[in-house]
Chain A
């Protein structure tokens, strides 16, 4: 006999399942909400959308396969880019973090992409006890115990990563330049941003440590258009290589003007230089030959990732980049943490999820991911790329135009 209450429940849950499109999930499934924070519009949109698709794929697959019986995952996607900033906006990221923390059903998050957003979000997430896993932001300060008062005021790690930090991305590129390219002297530039300065500092520290000669260090103003003065200075100093810590806003202009003034010099940067603008706005021939790194293993080229990549392409029509797959990994870790809690018969809330993520040893596309007590991955692989024009592919096809060279030597 169907009581009135049971009928109402049935009706409500059928309606919920229909609107969610939850596929084979049972009508009585509990919904687990996962927050996502990314700069989905403006200058950073292309990479952010790829990352979002990576997160969507892993949870859709889990829902379709009924990976966690009795539970359905749902994403709460938030955009941290604003029209006034034209790109990611730390103030908006902080607002999103507050929304996530105050949402009772939201138990874990993926994101942000940008370290500037991460710095704004971390203290709020810490106070709210909400764990996030970033698939792309690499500034080491956020997880550095020296800055714990600022970024983890509540004490426990809440900012986890499926990429390594600039504390490795910079120095391992130094080692790549020294060992693989035979660079003995270098000139270092940054773009005066938090990410760029930190990365350039890390590169410089390692260069001094191994006796690579630092011929100079200068700072570019990303709002300025003219870098010919600085580049002329570099030309006169005549180093073997130029290293740039920064993102594409200054990067595009640097690539263009460096091609005019120091065309033959070895030039490299970090993951800020892995951006479609470098290919479309700076373009060829200027961008040809630039080196850049990703703070993760080259998952796109890994045979173990191919099944996921096929599913990704089939679902979204474009291929993933490495940070789309580290976002997939972040999703796997969250799903793994939910499974652990269910197996241990613990409630699923922000606090238990945080502890489960911190203790997890989840097999992912990049192997088993383990975190140190601050939230950083124990492994620290940096992949090196070189821009080489592939005329058969579209200009902004980053996977075709950024040619994978191999992992950088570890430090």
Chain B
């Protein structure tokens, strides 16, 4: 393997990781932008997403790595699983907001954030008990296709990640920028009181933000399963923490910033693993985070900030 193809391969690895982190980071950023709340339940909504997708795929009779689909059945199964997963985690997000967070709205201080940590552990333990801590084989109906590009290998799941993740992210971006509800979201983010006075239904806006953020996390969970072919109750924490870092790096509250942050963290992880050592990846990722926050407290791109006084 020549140096340039090695570099290319690590870039491919990093971009795939980054796409997943970016999908997750969007959920953090969306909710922070509106509520100024760091939602730690998001970690395990992502994990629940991978399990929902697993159960749907198993429902289609797919188990292990033996059943390979092509053409329309493949697309049909994947789209169906994606829709069910995104809808399921979206509803889960709304329920979390309605049941545990709305009663705390208006209470200042860290109560709401601590609540999300609690919810995160509840989800974690539900799956732990359901699976008795086993790592589960995630079905992979994708054909084993791969392509050689300048000595590096690109696989079909990687290509799909690069297609689906930007598609979902652009969709969200367009929704926030163009739609009526998106405009209401931005208004709420800037000043909830004024927005309410202008007739914006703030509760509905917040529920939408939770639905969308959690649905993206669900999509991330399903993509995770298809890419790595396993899932377990543990997957939320490492991925979630890195995605959170990505959101902060890009400027929490800033949607494009979260995307860029996600890819940046993915690439940093891949390059530092190659050129330094994998056990230093976390040190490097979090050192960069600290440096960015010291010199640019609002993150690389600043945030779409609630400008509350």
Contacts and interface: CB of A to CB of B under 8 A. Distances in A.
Given A249-B135, A277-B135, A285-B65, A218 B279 contact: yes
A230 B278 contact: yes
Interface of A: 41-43, 45, 83, 86-87, 192, 218-221, 223-230, 232-233, 235-236, 238, 248-249, 252-253, 256-257, 260-261, 277, 280-286
B17 to A, nearest CB: 6
Interface residues of B, number: 40
A83 B13 CA distance: 34
Interface string B119-152: 0000001001100111111000000000000000
A220 B129 contact: no
A224 B242 CA distance: 10
Max count, chain A CB within 10 A of own CB: residue among B228, B234, B278 = B278
B287 interface: no
Given A221-B238, A225-B224, A282 B132 contact: no
B228 A226 contact: yes
B211 interface: no
A261 B9 CA distance: 11
**Main SS of chain B's interface residues?**
helix
Nearest to B135: A281
B301 interface: no
A86 B155 CA distance: 33
A218 B137 contact: no
Interface string B220-249: 000010001110011101110000000000
Contacts of A192: 279
Interface in B1-36: 1, 6, 9-10, 13-14, 16-17
Contacts of A43: 132-135
Contact of B132 (A42, A238, A281): A42
A43 to B, nearest CB: 5
B267 to A, nearest CB: 10
Contact of A83 (B1, B129, B134): B129
A281 B137 contact: yes
Given A42-B133, A83-B128, A283-B137, A229 B279 contact: no
A42 B125 CA distance: 13
A232 B9 contact: yes
Interface in B30-62: none
Given A45-B132, A226-B269, A284-B65, A252 B274 contact: no
